[in-house]
Amino acid sequence: MIHITGPTRHSAEMHLPKEPEDKKNWRDIGYSAQKMIEAWKRCINAFASAFPQTPVVLNLSPVIFDDEVMETVVRYGYGKYGQRFFMQNNILLADNKEMKRRDWAILKEYASKTTVGFQRQVLRLKQRGVLSENERVRIRKENFEGMFSQGMALGAKYFEIGLIEALDFPEILRKAAEQL
């Protein structure tokens, strides 16, 4: 599979800079939902054309404004390329279940139609204060296991994970692989 890149801030994800000043700047230079949609269509078509036998993956994320760009781009990509058009999200943690993310709703909607997957988000343990090594391992293990459960509940067919977790928790990885 090939990840589609396009008009983004720093990765393959669909983000643009979202601070208030950024939003003002985007509007000042003529941002419109239609322009962004057309830019993403060109990127999708370019990647699909360059790799005609390979699935292409769109890394979903709300773009910048609440203007249906992400939803429209997904409808276009899936409508044109069908099951060859994969979708992925890169913010999966076990403890972010309560997040009401539009991109997750899209993934769940399309999971029965095409391949969807997740990249696990980096678990930031420093934000949790001083922890013992046993506590750090316990939290990492719970997150790794919960991440798979949450992703599978959203219809994931694959996961991108870190090497460290795979080496540290092979039993969780085996169990997840058996369920996929």
Residues 109-152 have pLDDT tens digits of 999 999 999 988 766 676 667 788 898 888 889 888 988 998 99
Class of residue 1 by CB neighbours under 10 A (exposed 0-12, middle 13-18, buried 19+): middle
> What confidence category does residue 102 fall into, taking pLDDT thresholds of 50, 70 and 90?
confident
CA distance 38 to 169: 43
How confident is the model over 30-86, as pLDDT tens digits? 999 999 999 999 999 999 999 999 999 999 988 888 889 999 999 999 999 999 999
Cα dist from 173 to 87, 90, 120, 148, whole Å: 22, 18, 13, 9
Domain that holds residue 165: 2-179
Best CA proximity match to 63, nearest among 17, 19, 25: 17
CA distance 179 to 174: 9
- Count of the separate structural domains present in the chain: 1
Q: Are 115 and 123 in contact (CB under 8 A)?
A: no
Best CA proximity match to 12, nearest among 77, 90, 83, 78: 90
